[in-house]
A and B are shown apart, each in its own frame.
Chain A
Amino acid sequence: MLTAVFLPLIFALLIPLLSKWKDKIHTGWFVLIVPFTVFVYLVTKTGKDFAPIRETYQWIPSLNINFDFYLDGLGLLFGLLISGIGTLVVLYSIFYLHKSEQLAHFYVYLLMFMTAMFGVVFSDNVYVLYTFWELTSLSSFLLIGFWNHRKGSRYGALKSMLITVFGGLSLLGGLILLHLVTGTTSIQAMIEQKEVIIQSPYFGWILAFVFLGAFTKSAQFPFHIWLPDAMEAPTPVSAYLHSATMVKAGIFLIARFLPIFVLSEWFMIVTSTVGIVTLCIGSYMAVRQTDLKGILAYSTISQLGMIMAMLGYGTSTAIFAAVFHILNHATFKGSLFMVAGIVDHETGTRDIRKLGGLMTLMPITATLALFGTFSMAGVPLPFLNGFYSKEMFFQASLDLSGTSSITEVLAIVIPILAVVGSIFTFVYSMYLFFGTFRGEYKEQELPKKPHEAPIGMLISPIILITGVVVIGLYAQLVNEPLLAHTYEAITGEISNKTISYWHGFIPAFQLSLLVVGVGTVLAMTRKRWSSIYNVLPGSLSLNRVYDWLVDRTEKYSMKITNTYMTGSLKTYAQLLLSAIFIISAAILFLTNGINLEATDLAPITIAELLIVGMMAFAAIATVFTNSRIAAILILGVVGYGLSILFVLYRAPDLALTQLIVETVTVALFLLAFMHLPELRKRTEPLRTRALNATIAISFGALMTIVAISSFASKWFEPISQYFLETSKSLGGGKNVVNVILVDMRGLDTLFEIAVLALAALGIYGMIKLRGNSKEAK
């Protein structure tokens, strides 16, 4: 399986090497081998005796992140879809994309996506699953942006990325919780501990997080809005990622964790409600679209909703129907996307208002579309696979029964919504087919004169439609070797389901007929009631919410940031100092840190008091003076006062240094500010000055209080006694301060000199480069 997962990636790395031949042979032929090989490999695994396969390869074992691959029925079904549809899509793309396109990019992204998708469905390790999950989002982003010179393409790429990555991150949260609750990173091992998970206090969070991941990926309401915009991608991509595989990853995820979640009533409530609402909104919205791919996009949303709803029911009929429909949907929807691509390719437009009457011109395409749309609509004909799963869906909806007040209501509402959604499904299916292939042929509106598509483009949809018919007629062909295993993988029970056309005139069948009847009427009168969309615009408003959110995020961040990032040092310093003061003062009080009972104090002498008083007075005077010379000289007074204090406090070296430094500094001050204007009178309003004063005084007071408290908490003998003892014997000097500086703390001094040297170099550079910068100008 490791090979299956990484084969596409390895091929992707080889593609750039093919650039030599890119003009001769379409790169797609080379790529085609990859999904086909995997498909064949997986087909050989199917059969009645299939048993899950497990493989483990180490990656980051110390974090329990390993390539634990687990191929069970569920993985097998999805693996077949990914590789099977993948083969057909690559084949189709060979004819769809011209050699002049950036094919290398296209196929690298596509292969990357295949690896990601195989990884998602085969991984048993939650973190590896997440890794591949995000890789699908990333490759989808790149594929949607393939024609990135289009604005819509860039818009759609960003939208899909934001929404699916949002879901992905949320999923990560859920997966981490699952890991922490169960202590394992293996999904199968988690399932064995499902009771533990259900009873965990975090279960609600787990459910919410995983839901967000699954619903965003599978375009469930209200996150479905990214899918229609993703249609900007080339059609093969839409057929592949945004219909058959990637969007089903959310379904896969829910199915994967179903054995755990099914124990929770909330799972059932949320999943089925979201699913059924998505079904209705999607099919309702599909009818109002005018772009073929738009119709198909909403149709996909609605079908995904239906599958999601069935998983939410959690009953055996529903789950089996869901599994069956995953397969059926891939066949008919895949072919319909390809048909849409063909129509686009041949006529030059996808606008259904310009299309019509193509049946005679493109008979094969039209036939394929006929089968596809009718299967999608669930028309009760024995050779359409869509009907079977649709009928099971009705059956499962009717079978619902409530155990609590909420579920009781749901059991009544859901079948009604199921029928409503299916009626609209029928309507848009007919609309799609008849609008494109029947009716009036509007030659003058078409950019190109349509012909039947080249055979190469037709092969893939033909194969898919053959699948529709064969599955319809001989459902047992896929049931026993495949679907039964998938069912078993999800429910843990052996499947005894059979698929047959005629169950008698049962309620589900009656509903099918009802849908066809009402649907036909509505489809024929569509133009008359379509004004309803002006009243109920459906999900357009959600798009507005998204646009609004994105727009506001940027605008408000600008606003918020601009309020404090003013560029003014004063604002910065005010905010910074206030924050430090408030938090530190709060901590000081909360921890009872204040201790002003310093006992062991030095005596106070008059001389000292005089000096201190002078310094304090001078310091305060700097605030009030308006003369620059005065200010600098007053600053000098403080400095010289400090050196006198150093003398008094038995620090001769300090006094000397301070004296010299002060003198030089004052000189520098005078030098630097000779050319600058006088100090101006303060023009600031009183409020600002009061605020500044408050900040300054509070901070100064805080420092004093912390200082006294620290002084009063001398709990240990300072290490300097050692210096006094060893200065002479080990350091060889009598002046202890000097010995400390050059010996014990020599490293400090070395780098202190380095700082000085750097300052000198910097100053030199600033002065020297002046001339140069003028020259440059």
Chain B
Amino acid sequence: MSNLAVLPIIVPLLAGIIAAFIPRKTTVVRIFSRVMTIVNLAIAMYVGFEVYQNGSIILETGGWKAPFGIVIVADMLSVLLVITTNIIGVACVFFASRSLTDKQESFYFYTFFFLLITGVSGAFLTGDLFNLFVFFEVLLMASYGLLVLGGNKVQFRESIKYILINLFSSMLFVTVVAFLYSVVGTVNMAQIAQRVQEVEQQGILTTIGILLFFVFATKAAIFPLYYWLPKSYIVPNPVVSALFGALLTKVGIYSIIRVFTLIFIHDTAMTHQLFIWLAAFTMIFGVIGALSTNNVKLIVVYNIIPAIGFMLMGIGLYSETAVAGSIYYLLHDMVVKGALFLLVGAIVALAGTSDLRKMNGLIHHYPVIGWMFLISTVALAGIPPFSGFVGKLLLLQGGLEQGNIAIVIVGLVTSLLILFSMIRIFIRGFWGEKDESFTPDKKKARAFAWPIGCLVAITIFLGVGAEFVYPIVADISTYLLDPSLYIDSVLKE
């Protein structure tokens, strides 16, 4: 029964391995991949259903009891994120064949893709800090592979920077895990949490926590550590950008949520207060970046950053409302970012340029893409009734509950500027004179529209149907704020 929890990691791993052996048969591998992502989504949903019904599933791998072996902890938070990951996966895999060349597909795109899903799901599910490092490496290595796929010089150039920064943060990660091991003598997250709570004089622990935070913050693109992100995200194929934008930074923020609600909660006045400040700067600088360019891809890439700021704000505020807000925002952001990255990918492919100044009147040619873009934009800015609103509302409520008007004002201004940065694309790119000389590729547009449409539909559902999702998120938040629930479920004491 508990073996179920490992399936969302193992199935894509196997799928990736199999895909590696049939790369030359593009059609076969394409169909195989589509089927496998859907199967994997179904599995993830089934696991989700089980967890929803019966509570967290704890799998002690190899039968080694926690905290000695590696545990897989499928709690509601992890499972919800794994499901969302697989939804993005399905949309991307269907988009991939329309966006990649056959060559790129045959150079192990699907293997990298599946391993990326493996790494991300593994990072969400693992209950072991060192194992988290390993899954980070899996997803990073897969992302390196995807990043250089296609191999032009710009990609190579930006990949180097991306890999170097990540390599450094990975090395910092293992070092910090070692420091932590020295102090608490374990790498099992539940046991670390338990032991950290038992310590009276925390001493070095806060610093170790902050170093760990920086490791995750580098991956999550939090101010002032996000420099590597914008350029490396615009160079690869749109479908790769979408996977990165929707998933990679979110693993970082998930890790922060996990570690800073479970383990390092002994000095919130120091750590979490710092997060609020960093969140504010992340929002401001991120949205400034989004306003700074006319490259549509870059605008969307920069918009990753303020969203991360919102999520960090919730963790910093550290109350039930705010943490629920962060989680809801996280779910929303994964979906809407996936949709937006695919949309700009489609726009660039259809318009033939990524320069906003060279676009005009696209809505006359591609109305469906245009309207989906507007909905995603509005959702991103957190305007009801779409998905962004619920998370933002909770975050603002959380901020005001603590009387932190300043961060709320930053959040509101950021929302406005997010809208401004994105609506420019709609106004300048989609509106305007119809260019009669332009021959639209309607067939391609339709092919692009389907996978995106699914994500947009989910965005709408997350907003309008919040009643189906929010109670779960609220429960997760309550659960996260009481670390003993996690600890007891893993260590069974």
Contact = CB atoms under 8 A, between A and B. Distances in A.
A and B touch in the complex (CB under 8 A): yes
Interface of A: 58-63, 65, 127, 130-131, 134, 138, 145, 148-149, 154, 157-158, 161-162, 165-166, 168-170, 172-173, 176-177, 179-180, 202, 205, 553-554, 556-562, 564-565, 567, 569, 571-573, 575-576, 579-580, 583-584, 587-588, 590-595, 703, 706-707, 709-711, 713-719, 722-723, 726, 730, 743-748, 751-752, 754-755, 757-759, 761-762, 764-766, 768-770, 772-773
B3 interface: no
Given A154-B432, A561-B289, A715-B199, A768 B227 contact: no
Contacts of A169: 412-413, 415-416
Interface of B: 13, 20, 61-62, 64, 67-70, 103, 107-108, 111-112, 115, 118-119, 122, 130-131, 134-135, 137-138, 141-142, 144-145, 148-152, 160-161, 164-165, 168, 175, 179-186, 188, 191, 195, 199, 202-208, 210-211, 214, 218, 224-225, 227-228, 230-231, 267, 270-271, 274, 285, 288-293, 361, 378, 381, 383-385, 389-390, 393-394, 396-397, 400-401, 403, 405, 408-409, 412-413, 415-417, 419-420, 423-424, 427-428, 431-434, 466-467, 470-471, 474
A120 to B, nearest CB: 13
A168 B412 CA distance: 10
Given A557-B288, A719-B186, A575 B206 contact: no
Contact of A716 (B119, B184, B415): B184
A714 B182 contact: yes
A148 B431 contact: yes
Contacts of A202: 400, 403
Given A162-B420, A744-B64, A761 B467 contact: no
Contact of B138 (A148, A595, A755, A762): A755
Contacts of A758: 111-112, 115, 138, 141-142, 144-145
B384 A591 contact: no
A572 B179 contact: no
Nearest to B169: A576
B398 to A, nearest CB: 10
B295 to A, nearest CB: 11
Give 5 closest A-B pairs by Cβ, nearest first: A718-B185, A148-B431, A557-B291, A131-B384, A561-B292
B206 A707 contact: no
A754 B182 contact: no
Given A63-B466, A587-B270, A751-B135, 15 more contacts: A63-B394, A130-B384, A134-B383, A148-B427, A169-B412, A557-B290, A580-B211, A590-B270, A595-B204, A713-B203, A718-B186, A726-B68, A747-B134, A769-B150, A769-B151
B204 A717 contact: no
Contacts of B292: 554, 557-562
A16 B225 CA distance: 48
A36 B206 CA distance: 66
A149 B434 contact: yes
Given A165-B416, A569-B160, A569-B161, A747 B70 contact: yes
B288 A63 contact: no
20 contacts: A131-B384, A154-B432, A176-B397, A180-B401, A205-B405, A558-B293, A565-B227, A565-B231, A576-B165, A584-B210, A587-B210, A595-B203, A703-B175, A710-B182, A719-B188, A719-B191, A743-B62, A747-B70, A751-B134, A764-B108
B470 A765 contact: no
Nearest to A169: B412
Contacts of A168: 383
Contacts of A769: 103, 107, 149-151
Contacts of B397: 176, 179-180
A559 to B, nearest CB: 8
A590 B206 CA distance: 10
Given A62-B471, A595-B204, A754 B138 contact: yes
B467 A61 contact: yes
B183 A715 contact: yes
Contacts of A590: 270
Contacts of A154: 427-428, 431-432
A765 B148 CA distance: 8
A61 B467 CA distance: 7
Nearest to B271: A587
Nearest to A580: B214
Nearest to B133: A748
Nearest to B209: A587
A505 B471 CA distance: 66
A378 B168 CA distance: 75
B289 A557 contact: yes
Contact of A62 (B168, B184, B384, B467): B467
A772 B103 contact: yes
B204 A706 contact: yes
A679 B254 CA distance: 42
A748 B130 contact: yes
Given A743-B64, A744-B62, A765-B151, A172 B396 contact: yes
A190 B157 CA distance: 59
Contacts of A744: 62, 64, 68-70
B134 A583 contact: no
B131 A748 contact: yes
A717 B424 CA distance: 59
A716 B195 contact: yes
A557 B214 CA distance: 26
B393 A593 contact: no
Contacts of B211: 580, 584, 706
Contacts of B378: 138
Given A761-B111, A765-B148, A710 B138 contact: no
Contacts of B181: 718
Contacts of A576: 165, 218, 224-225, 227
Given A558-B293, A719-B186, A748-B70, A60 B466 contact: yes
Given A716-B195, A762-B148, A583 B210 contact: yes
Nearest to A137: B383
B203 A587 contact: no
B199 to A, nearest CB: 6
A573 B416 contact: no
Given A179-B397, A587-B210, A765-B108, A706 B412 contact: no
Instruction: Identify which of A58, A176, A580, A772 gathers the most chain B CB atoms within 10 Å of its CB.
Output: A580
Contact of B70 (A158, A564, A745): A745
Contacts of A583: 210, 214, 274
Given A569-B164, A571-B227, A717-B185, A166 B416 contact: yes
B224 A565 contact: no
A593 B206 contact: yes
A770 B165 contact: no
B151 A766 contact: yes
A593 B199 CA distance: 13
B291 A553 contact: yes
Nearest to A558: B292
A234 B424 CA distance: 22
A329 B292 CA distance: 43
A579 B396 contact: no
A722 B68 contact: yes
A80 to B, nearest CB: 26
Contacts of B103: 769, 772
Contacts of B419: 161-162, 165
A714 B191 CA distance: 15
A775 to B, nearest CB: 10
A762 B394 CA distance: 42
A165 B427 contact: no
Contacts of B400: 173, 176-177, 180, 202
A13 to B, nearest CB: 13
A60 B413 CA distance: 26
Contact of A761 (B131, B135, B145, B160): B145
Nearest to A768: B107
Contacts of A556: 288
B471 A138 contact: no
B423 A565 contact: no
